[in-house]
Amino acid sequence: MDIILDPSTQQSLYLQIVEQFKELVSRKILSEGDPLPSIRALSNELNVSVITAKRAYQELESQGFITTIPSKGSFVARQSHDQIIEQYLAKIHTHMRSIQLLSQFVGLTDQELAMMYELVKDGRD
């Protein structure tokens, strides 16, 4: 799997695996039914503990992104377009909430925040 972990960020390694896996699915690099490496193979490939790899797989399974069949392994689950959109909307909401709190902390007005958004959107940040 094409996952690159950054141990210097505050995000835990298992969540980095989860987020990057979902990105691979949404970009259709991984498709429904594709077999996934075993937990041990993933931990070796990414140089993380077996516990970290297992936790990532458990999280992905609980979110419906993978299915695990005993004695056969884990596979990419069927994803509807709506499920993928829902995941992105939740992520956008989380980021927007953080932006709102930060802008409130530094005293930005709604107009100043909107101007910053336009600059970023236009690639002039």
Using one digit for the tens of pLDDT, what is the confidence trace for 61-76?
A: 998 899 999 999 999 9
Q: Report which of 106, 105, 125 is spatially closest to residue 117, judged by C-alpha positions.
A: 125
Phi, psi angle pair for 95, to nearest 5°: -65, -40
Contact assessment for residue 49 and residue 43, using Cβ atoms and an 8 Å cutoff: yes
Q: Grade residue 80 by pLDDT with cuts at 50, 70 and 90.
A: low
Dmax (CA) for the chain in angstroms is: 57
123, pLDDT greater than 90: no
- The CATH number of 13-76 is which of 1.10.10.10, 2.40.30.20, 1.10.3450.40, 3.40.190.10? 1.10.10.10
